[in-house]
Amino acid sequence: MLAPIVLSLALAASGHGWSVAHAGALPAASRLSVVASAGPHDVWVGGKEHGNDYAEIGRAVLEHWDGRRWTVTRLPHADSVVGLSAAGPKDVWAAARQSYEGGGLLYHYDGRRWSRVTGLPAAGDYDVAAVRGAVFVAIRDGSDVLTRDADGWQPATLGEDVHLRAVRARTPADAWAIGGTGDYQTERPFAAHWDGHAWTSTPLPLNTGHLHAVLSYSPENAWAVGNGLRPFKGRYEPYGKPFVLHWDGAAWKQVKVPAGRADLRAITAAGGGRVLIGGFDPAHPSRPFFLRNNNTRKWHADTVKPPRGAKYVEVNGVAAAGYDLWAVGAFDRVKGSPTPRDLVLRYRP
């Protein structure tokens, strides 16, 4: 059994809008990558604790918010948590990366403890999506998605030269697997939909780049974010020009958003059919970057106060918990320093 450690942290601010829930709570250099909610007062975040010397080999860390306090669980034999999904308070899944041996790991939380899940094919990395009645595991940088049933894990290959990055599910009959296809220098975005019986790839309106994250409101309403491979205005950018796509049940269409040169990394439902996108904006590196749309479909960037003294802030994961929104990432008070600290942000309407 993995025993949790209680963190003595101040509660998140009680006002409206965005606030810092906690920043730099872990004892050493660390970065949070993913967040998932099992209820309004049941939030999990995960990432990596690098250690004081910022070693490449770190420790996988999970933090849990129960509405009153944070507790920390460290997963043995794992370097970092790279995927999180919660079907309920007693059904939470975490995908992790191994420390020295290499390869992906999968863990399950039953409401009392975390345990290792076996029986999956060996892979360098996984992503996981859990809903009531189904669990999907994507092999990252591979082309297979595994679906769990009474007979174990059932694999499906989504195509040649597919490099999956994420899988998300709304119901057992509505899931998306996204990433890219082709070699990494000529990669094109890729998205496939699961209808409860089979995976079907869907044409995309872009011929370069890859998708990072996807969200489904219904079979006729889904959103995806990614970045292109081409330089932005003739300058080299690590992730290329950002893009947002919307699925109407028949086709994907690109949506114009004020993203500038931002790296779009995460997406979640924001209530009432609205969407929250998180990432990193190199034009304003000291600010948390968020995009949201309102009921008129107009997009705007949220103004968020960063942790005190922050010179660099990245948002890697976002999730809704009841009416609240949560975001996780990292910040640094010294520009260019290799010692980021863990960051959790909370939005209250």
The CATH number of residue 190's host domain is 2.130.10.10
Residue 278 pLDDT: 98
Helix, strand, coil % in the chain, rounded to nearest 5: 0, 55, 45
CA torsion 217-219-220-222 (nearest 10°) is 50
Contact 127, 83 (CB under 8 A): yes
Which pair of tokens denotes residue 14?
């009680």
- The residues near 8 (Cβ < 8 Å, ≥ 6 apart) are none
CA 46 – CA 26 distance, rounded (Å): 12
Helix (H) or strand (E) holding 300: strand 299-301
Residue 236 pLDDT: 44
Residue 2 pLDDT: 58
The conformation of residue 52, written as its DSSP 8-state character, comes to T
Q: What is the mean pLDDT for each group of 10 consecutive residues in the chain (349 residues)?
A: 52 74 89 96 94 64 94 89 98 89 89 92 91 96 90 91 97 97 87 97 94 96 91 56 96 95 95 93 94 84 90 97 96 80 95
28-72 pLDDT per residue, tens? 889 999 999 999 999 999 999 886 555 556 789 999 999 999 999
Residue 238 pLDDT: 55
> Helix/strand/coil (H, E, C) string of 180-233?
EECCCCCCEEEEEEECCCCEEECCCCCCCCEEEEEEEEECCEEEEEEECCCCEC
3-state secondary structure of 270: coil
Residue 337 pLDDT: 67
> Structural domain tally of the chain?
1
CA 135 – CA 87 distance, rounded (Å): 9
**pTM for this one?**
0.93
CA 64 – CA 39 distance, rounded (Å): 12
Q: Which residues are 74's β-sheet partners?
A: 61
CA torsion 190-277-56-333 (nearest 10°) is 150
Q: Which residues are 81's β-sheet partners?
A: 96
Domain, as residue range, for 342 = 5-348
CA 91 – CA 238 distance, rounded (Å): 36
Residue 52 pLDDT: 53
118-162 pLDDT per residue, tens? 888 888 899 999 999 999 999 999 999 999 977 789 999 999 899
